[in-house]
Structure 1
Amino acid sequence: MPPETRRAAREAAERAAAGRSAAPDDHDDSDETQRTSRGRIVGRVILIVVVLLLALAVWLVIKVVIAKNGLESAQEAVTSIQDGGNVSDAIPKLSSGAADAAGAAADPVWRMAELIPGAGDNLRGVRLAAETLDVFANDVGAPVFKMQDDGQGKILARALPLIEAAAPEISKLSSELKGVAASDALIGPVRSGVDQVAEVAGAAGPMFTLLPKLLGAEEKQNYLLVFQNNAEALPLGGSSASQTLITADKGDLEIAGQASSASFVEGETVDLDISESAKALYGSRYGSYINLAPSQPDWPGVAEMVKAFWNRDIDDTHIDGVISVDPIALQRMLLATGPIEVDGKTLDNKNAVKTLLSDVYRWWDPYTDPDLKSDAFFAGVASAVFDKIAGGDFNIKDMAWAVGESIDAGSILAWSEDTDTQKIIAGSGRLSGILPTDNSAETVNGVFFRNVSASKIDYYTKTAVESTMSCADGVTTLTTTATVSLDISQADAEDLPRYVQSRSQRAAYFGTQVYMYAPPGMELASAETTGGASAFRTGNVDLGRVVEPFQARLRPDGSFSVTATFTGTGDFGPLALWTTPMINETKTTVTDTCH
């Protein structure tokens, strides 16, 4: 090849230099293009994320609105029931609202949003409240109401599998609700709803857990139903005149036996440890006559005594629990069951007390009736009401009212041998029949009436109690006056059936006692009486309380009053009054100037 000319060499060098200078320019253009491309991608991603978050937020808002509407619908149904509305109409609305709310809150987006600080606790609270209502309404409530309408009976036996299935979930939700209720982040409406549902779940959860066992899911259970007669008043209600043995086997309830006071041996003390204080206050006959068992105002002790009588004189069946129901409670329950007919007599929610505690003794006087038709009538009434309840033939709302009112009045009492069940009962106030051992929640003043004339005169007895608590200079003073009167003339008293009159004094007078149980920590300061009453068996401490007893001869058209003043130092909660559930409701006046 010929040698390169200078010109050619120069042009080649220029081309090489131009190529070197052009290379960096080409590289800069490419980098800028890449940066622009990446920016566009990031922008698109951000836009997509924003749109997605907005979509999720809108979706969450929709779910919140659905849950809110569902819960409001459920609340309206509950309010309707509470206001006396038709339960059958309200239940579908409650079920539908609870299901809608629970379904909305079960959404994955909702669950993710629960991780957001602050707002998450509110969403979690709404979800848990909705899920709890859903379990109550749709897993248990609605199916049970359908069972009531299908006419097949055996409600408890058929509902038992539902209760067993729901119990673990209710227990879990109750625990979680309790946790979220402790959050400070809950806003007003959410906190109100969470607290309400948590309270219901907290009370129902343990019972749902225990109910299968109580209904005999594991093994047959035996319960003794005591029918107290308030016409012969005793501190916890009245003489324990008749008993019914009920068995529960896989939810199937049956009457296994019945007994009246005539079925038991009188005058022989049962094999039971009776406290010295009870013997001192209630006399040497206490523990040897089953009628007198409800004298000491402590239902667990009375339940043990009634069990001992049954096992000694009737049969050796193992008793798992003892429940007391008096005619006042039964009359309320007849509102829910409707009227019953026994031996041609109709009982309803207006006349049951009169029929059972007055009319029956005019029809059949046990002193002159060798067939004891009155006892047979009581047994028939117990069977008829039991059949209605066991078969589910009653209005649930009205029954809930009747039971609640009766528990608050002391007309229904319960004791269970099962430790877990008894723990729940013991925390249920009057249902337990246990006077509180301290004054932290309430300062409970006990005033109890006791008929010692072996009569049924308390159908006509009127009672009133006025209790006042005051505080000064570190001392708390409690003054209580009880008044007892007999609203019947001498002539009318003499016209009463022999069995209603005093066993020994006929219509002349009726032995009546009043027992005042001071709050724990208080001592007797003074006592006063009018109308021929007097203090007796003084200086005793029973059930951890100082007791001041009084006695009097109550004459037709007569009355008497007794007053006891107790004092103490320390902390005393708000004043409350427990009295004997009387046929003619005791007129009470409670004044607490300390709180």
Structure 2
Amino acid sequence: MVVGVVAVLLIGVAVWIGVRGWLAKGELEQIETLKDSFSTAVRDGDAQALESSVSTANSRAATAASLTSDPVWRMSEALPFWGANAAALRVAAESVRDVTGAAQPLFDRAAAASSSSGLDISLVGEFADPLAATSRAVETARANLSALDSGALLPPLRDAVVDLNSTIDGAAAPLSDAATVASVLPEILGADDPRSILIMVQNTAEARTGGGITGSFVELRASKGKIEFGNTADSTDFDEQSADILPIPATTTALYDDKVGRFVTNTTMTADFDLSARLASAWWQKLGHPAPDTVISIDPVVLAALLKITGPITLADGGSVDATTVTERILVRPYLEDSQEGQTAVQSDLTMRLFDRLINEPLDVSAWADALADPVEDGRISMWSARANEQDALAHGPFGGTLARYVAAGDQAIGVYLNDASTGKLGTFLHLDIAVGERVCREDGVAEVTVATTLTSTAPEAARHFPLWMTGGDNPSQPGDLTTDVTVEAPAGWFTNGAEINGALNPSTDVADGDHAQTRTRVVVAPGQSQTVTFHLLADLDGAEPAPAVVHTPLLNPVGVKSGETLPCD
């Protein structure tokens, strides 16, 4: 009799668990079907569709979590074989429920911002708490999913858990960065006290490590939810200095001579945006203006992205500029048809009119996020604050500048930085491809790494006869040639071993900056031609294969990067 009762109870428990597991599995499978609509909504910047997908996922995940959270289910997680799968079902359901639940208030904030009559800074601050909550939910889900033993799971469930873990893992860093920046953004925008924000527009037609020469400056004054324009300046307003305007590290001077601190256009020649921003502040004060509280650097690709938000802008000369024509309009035509001063005037005019439009339009969060996603990932937007707590939040994230991106890329990051050496504006024709190869063939186990940087000029032969301000008045090569200094920064503890072109060593400047070796060499590319310079690095990794990541100057044209090629032993 007792045995029969126990058997019935066990069968009942098994049926209970099986039915609830089947129902929970069905809910999670329905969430899986939302992936395509979620991806489409993100790609198209469709906030309503995205909110609908998140809401549906949250509802189904909540149902699945309730089906897998009762005491009987939790007891079943201790059973052999089945237990690991039961735990994985519960953790997956709870993870999706908690992350999507934390994210839902963001849509309410976005709707409020979009319905305002203009850029409401107070609404910007309201994103901080839900972003922080979502970031915490993602970190918790990440830890719980990582703790699962995926090897003990049935194949379909294992694949789903691995996929979910990958998605959660990929969202962790961007959300953490967004939450950190959102926590200080209201103060930067003058929520508590008046602030001065210096917008520094880099001109990528003449490359610098951080992007391009600093040609235009626009001051924004923010206070109590309102933003207005202040002073403006361009590179011609600043006089060359006989000595550095600020102390420059000896290693920076050794690498780039005494150019970084004496010319305003070289402000971003260093990879350290903290130094670049302090230089920009010093130059700005040199004109008699108060020191800015914040420095923000952008480039023409960012201007093009912002034009996707505003639509076409009519300039002072009556011409129209949109996202597809901005490069031709401000980086090519003025130099060919007008003058360097004319180009600066056009760029300044566009920047002023563009920001005026942005300031006076409601904040469309989805449009901003969609437009700026790629420029932020490329490192085209850098921010610095004179306030220590704000700078701590900015310095190590995606807005920290080239050096911050290099550090974030890991302990095997390789930096590839370009600086135009002609004073010309042919960067619109410059294309860069980077190929990293490695091999471990030496008897001592030291790895050999090559960094092949191929520079291509798509300039026509007619570039030989372009105006002087286009080809460069100080070009040490022939008019129309792209004359570029290429610098490679090696990971800590690695060594540089020369740079070669066509199998012959090319003259180089080698500098040790702490544990990081850097080498700079010059490359000359004729119109319509390509030139490859190969840097050689050595890494003592105890016989292990290197796994380098590449961080490079954000150029006007996309940069091709290939890594992981295993080179043959000689």
Residue identity matched to 1:523: F
Q: Which residue of 2 aligns with 1:575?
A: 548
SS state of the match for residue 295, structure 1?
Answer: coil
Q: Which residue of 2 aligns with 1:78?
A: 38
* Distance change in 2, residues 1:471/1:181 (3 Å): same
* Distance change in 2, residues 1:427/1:240 (3 Å): same
Residue identity matched to 2:552: T
Is 1:523 aligned with 2:469?
A: no
Q: Deviations over 1:308-333 (max 9, x none)?
A: 2223335223424x332211333244
Q: Is the 8 A contact 2:423 2:475 kept in 1?
A: no
- Alpha-carbon separation, structure 2, partners of 1:572 and 1:584: 31
Residue identity matched to 2:201: F
Q: Deviations over 1:277-298 (max 9, x none)?
A: 1112212232011101111223
Q: Which residue of 1 aligns with 2:59?
A: 100
* Distance change in 2, residues 1:572/1:430 (3 Å): farther
- Alpha-carbon separation, structure 2, partners of 1:559 and 1:201: 40
Q: Which residue of 1 aligns with 2:448?
A: 477
Which of 118, 122, 133 in structure 1 is aligned with 2:100? Answer: 133
Q: Deviations over 1:76-108 (max 9, x none)?
A: 5312224x4561551352253145246647869
CA drift at 1:273: 2.7
Q: Which residue of 2 aligns with 1:173?
A: 137
- Alpha-carbon separation, structure 2, partners of 1:81 and 1:346: 30
- Alpha-carbon separation, structure 1, partners of 2:552 and 2:136: 39
Q: Is the 8 A contact 1:126 1:194 kept in 2?
A: no
* Distance change in 2, residues 1:471/1:214 (3 Å): same
After the TM superposition, which residues 443-458 of structure 1 pair with which residues of structure 2 at under 5 Å, given as runs? 443-458=412-427
Q: Which residue of 2 aligns with 1:273?
A: 247
SS state of the match for residue 309, structure 1?
Answer: helix
Which of 518, 524, 542 in structure 1 is aligned with 2:513? Answer: 542
CA drift at 1:200: 2.6
- Alpha-carbon separation, structure 2, partners of 1:103 and 1:238: 50
* Distance change in 2, residues 1:572/1:221 (3 Å): farther
* Distance change in 2, residues 1:271/1:400 (3 Å): same
Which of 84, 101, 118 in structure 2 is aligned with 1:153? Answer: 118
- Alpha-carbon separation, structure 1, partners of 2:225 and 2:547: 41
SS state of the match for residue 294, structure 1?
Answer: coil
Larger radius of gyration: 1
| TM-score under structure 2 length normalisation | 0.78
- Alpha-carbon separation, structure 1, partners of 2:28 and 2:384: 41
Q: Which residue of 2 aligns with 1:35?
A: none
Q: For this pair of structures, how many residues does the alignment match?
A: 540
Q: Which residue of 2 aligns with 1:434?
A: 404
Is 1:261 aligned with 2:230?
A: no
CA drift at 1:358: 0.8
Q: Which residue of 2 aligns with 1:144?
A: 110
Residue identity matched to 1:79: S
Q: Which residue of 1 aligns with 2:261?
A: 287
Q: Which residue of 2 aligns with 1:325?
A: 298
- Alpha-carbon separation, structure 2, partners of 1:579 and 1:206: 21
Q: Is the 8 A contact 2:298 2:380 kept in 1?
A: yes
CA drift at 1:476: 1.1
Q: Deviations over 1:537-558 (max 9, x none)?
A: x342236432222235655566
Which of 65, 87, 90 in structure 1 is aligned with 2:46? Answer: 87
- Alpha-carbon separation, structure 2, partners of 1:313 and 1:334: 30
After the TM superposition, which residues 149-548 of structure 1 pair with which residues of structure 2 at under 5 Å, given as runs? 150=115, 152-154=117-119, 156-161=121-126, 163-167=127-131, 169-170=133-134, 172-184=136-148, 188=158, 189-190=160-161, 192-193=163-164, 196-197=167-168, 199-200=170-171, 203-205=174-176, 207-208=178-179, 210-216=181-187, 217-247=191-221, 249=223, 252-320=226-294, 322-343=295-316, 344-366=318-340, 372-390=341-359, 399-416=368-385, 418=388, 422=392, 426=396, 428=398, 432-434=402-404, 436=406, 441=410, 443-473=412-442, 474-484=445-455, 486-488=457-459, 491-496=462-467, 498-504=468-474, 508-509=478-479, 511-529=483-501, 534-536=506-508, 538-542=509-513, 544-548=515-519
- Alpha-carbon separation, structure 2, partners of 1:134 and 1:532: 60
- Alpha-carbon separation, structure 1, partners of 2:109 and 2:540: 54
* Distance change in 2, residues 1:455/1:182 (3 Å): closer
Q: Deviations over 1:460-497 (max 9, x none)?
A: 3444444322211312112234344544456543243x
Q: Deviations over 1:218-256 (max 9, x none)?
A: 555544332111111122211011123345556655444
- Alpha-carbon separation, structure 2, partners of 1:306 and 1:106: 53
Q: Is the 8 A contact 2:119 2:363 kept in 1?
A: no
- Alpha-carbon separation, structure 1, partners of 2:462 and 2:401: 40
* Distance change in 2, residues 1:477/1:335 (3 Å): same
Q: Is the 8 A contact 2:454 2:531 kept in 1?
A: yes
Unaligned runs of 5+ in 1: 1-45, 367-371
- Alpha-carbon separation, structure 1, partners of 2:457 and 2:265: 22
- Alpha-carbon separation, structure 1, partners of 2:111 and 2:128: 17
* Distance change in 2, residues 1:594/1:299 (3 Å): farther
Q: Which residue of 1 aligns with 2:3?
A: none
- Alpha-carbon separation, structure 1, partners of 2:166 and 2:529: 52
CA drift at 1:334: 3.2
Which of 123, 129, 142 in structure 1 is aligned with 2:90? Answer: 123
Unaligned runs of 5+ in 2: 1-5, 78-82
- Alpha-carbon separation, structure 1, partners of 2:121 and 2:19: 42
- Alpha-carbon separation, structure 2, partners of 1:466 and 1:183: 36
Q: Deviations over 1:513-555 (max 9, x none)?
A: 222333332323343346999514x342236432222235655
CA drift at 1:173: 2.8
Q: Is the 8 A contact 2:21 2:67 kept in 1?
A: no
Two-structure CA RMSD over aligned residues (Å): 4.4
SS state of the match for residue 353, structure 2?
Answer: helix
- Alpha-carbon separation, structure 1, partners of 2:431 and 2:176: 41
- Alpha-carbon separation, structure 1, partners of 2:246 and 2:506: 31
Q: Is the 8 A contact 2:406 2:551 kept in 1?
A: no
- Please identify, of 260-269 and 94-103, the stretch whose mean Cα deviation from structure 2 is larger: 94-103
- Alpha-carbon separation, structure 1, partners of 2:523 and 2:131: 53
CA drift at 1:407: 3.6
Q: Which residue of 2 aligns with 1:592?
A: 565
CA drift at 1:359: 1.2
- Alpha-carbon separation, structure 2, partners of 1:143 and 1:485: 46
Residue identity matched to 2:540: T
| TM-score under structure 1 length normalisation | 0.75
